[in-house]
Amino acid sequence: MYYNGIVGTRARRFGILPGAFNPPTVAHLALADSALNTVDRVIFVLPETLPHKDYSGVPFATRLKLVQLATDHNPSFDVASTQGGLLIEIARELRARLPSGAQIDFLCGRDAAERIVNWDYGTPDAFSGMLKEFGLLVAPRDGDYLIPEPYRTRIASVPLAAEFQAMSATDVRDRIHHGTDWHHLVPPAIHEHVRQLYGPAGPGESR
């Protein structure tokens, strides 16, 4: 596990933003910025194992570097990698590095929240058990998320401007592949890296 967080930080509530970051987008940063109104710090997490994806195209180490470059401007942003990719695995790995008693909240959009909450974890109370270890902060994405009544003490909403709600890394890759403008979707700090990695000669082209 890699974590560049501040040793001895007095932060007590951490927002966790996991993702494939293929590549990082300004929407990722906007969600993290919004969450800072609720949490003390935001940790961008790139799992070494992605539950439903693989690392074809741009490799893990390169994506981790992109996340570091994209977030370096904000001292309240940290970057980590975890061996596991499931939320409960990420939470437990990070907790070993965070201050004792720290609160963890995963950041996600409405669509991801619906998958997380409604997923079949094998037993009816599995997700409720997970919410004892972490919460969710959910941003709108094609609409607001309606929090189920039983979870309203552990799931909350965070605002996100409409211009960011439909952005995706897939859109960035598609725009580069088709030769249309993509720069407004990506943090300026990584423009040149993205051009090289996802352009015609790069490992992430058309992926």
Domain with 33, as residue range(s), is: 2-166
Q: How far is CA 102 from CA 6, 97, 99, 113, 192, in A?
A: 14, 10, 6, 22, 37
- pLDDT given for residue 167 in this prediction: 95
Residue 157 inside a domain? The answer is: yes
Residue 198 inside a domain? The answer is: no
User: 146 — phi, psi (to 5°)?
Assistant: -90, 110
pLDDT tens for each residue of the chain, 207 residues long: 888 887 678 899 999 999 999 999 999 999 999 999 999 999 999 999 887 777 788 999 999 999 999 999 999 999 999 999 999 999 999 999 999 999 999 999 999 999 999 999 889 899 999 999 999 999 999 999 999 999 999 999 999 999 999 999 999 999 999 999 999 999 999 999 999 999 987 787 655
- pLDDT given for residue 204 in this prediction: 76
Which of 8, 1, 27, 3 is CA-nearest to residue 79?
3
Q: What CATH number has the domain bearing residue 50?
A: 3.40.50.620
Q: Has this prediction a pTM greater than 0.85? A: yes
- pLDDT given for residue 56 in this prediction: 82
- pLDDT given for residue 206 in this prediction: 53
Residue 95 inside a domain? The answer is: yes
Residue 205 inside a domain? The answer is: no
The number of distinct structural domains making up the chain is 1
Which of 129, 144, 29 is CA-nearest to residue 79?
29
